[in-house]
Amino acid sequence: MAKPIPLTIDPAKFWRSVQIGDITQCWPRGRGSGYATFSHNHTMYPAHRVAYVLIRGPIPNDLVLDHLCRTHNCVNPFHLEPVTNAENIRRGNQGWNFKGKTRPVVNGVPLCANGHEVVGDNAYIAHHHDGRERLGCKACSSEWYKARRAADTRPRRPWTRDAEHGTTAKYARKCRCDLCRAAHAADARARRERNRLKAA
């Protein structure tokens, strides 16, 4: 959850560094092209969130602001829309594999690095270990795993491939035969689906 914007911010100090134009134009703050920030009482706040609160009012706790203009350093509050984090990711055009470059968009549909349309059943939300999220391409992910398995020439341990029923791993008590492993995987998928429905 983003830090709440304090109501004690001095509007004159904030707008001093903003290039204010027409309501339909972008209002950049700072010289960089990334997200602008604003310091208040030795704490840094996202500048676009500060601008929204100063002009349009509080931001709901469970929502984030989406730049409709796709200009990150724009703080025009009328270019910002409160949406859920998942919706913001679906609308986004950034990915880890693009390293800050703009994801190509054709006919309003974002494309992955390999040209697949990242929309509908081919899109999923990937979670990075540091908390970041991005819109991922299922086709690319499937191709990557297939290539990885095909390139893996290491010999398999007896208990991981074609094991007899009743064979167990050194540190596991579950049977490792193909039928039991398939049953364990099906149970895990069903458990994840139940948890997903429960959280929805």
Exposure pattern of 11-39 as b/e (b: 16+ CB <10 Å)? eeebbeebeeeeeeebbbbbeeeebbbbe
Q: With pLDDT > 70 as the criterion, what percentage of the chain qualifies? A: 77
Query: What would you measure as the largest C-alpha separation in the chain, in angstroms?
Result: 75
Mean pLDDT to the nearest integer, 17-26: 88
In a domain, 136, yes or no: yes
Domain match, 55 and 123 both: no
Closest CA to 92 of 118, 59, 114: 118
In a domain, 119, yes or no: yes
The two three-digit tokens of residue 18, written as one number: 């903003």
In a domain, 42, yes or no: yes
pLDDT score, position 160: 52
pLDDT score, position 4: 84
The domain boundary residue, chosen from 28, 49, 83: 83
The two three-digit tokens of residue 3, written as one number: 């830090």
Domain match, 17 and 77 both: yes
pLDDT score, position 71: 84
pTM (2 decimals)? 0.50
**Pairing state between β 43-46 and 64-67:** unpaired
Give the structural domain span for 127. Answer: 103-154
In a domain, 90, yes or no: no
Domain match, 37 and 78 both: yes
Domain match, 144 and 166 both: no
Domain match, 79 and 1 both: yes
Is residue 66 over pLDDT 60? yes
Question: How many domains, the chain?
Answer: 3
Q: With pLDDT > 90 as the criterion, what percentage of the chain qualifies? A: 18
Q: What is the pLDDT of residues 112-145, one digit of tens each?
A: 777 888 788 888 877 766 666 677 888 888 888 8
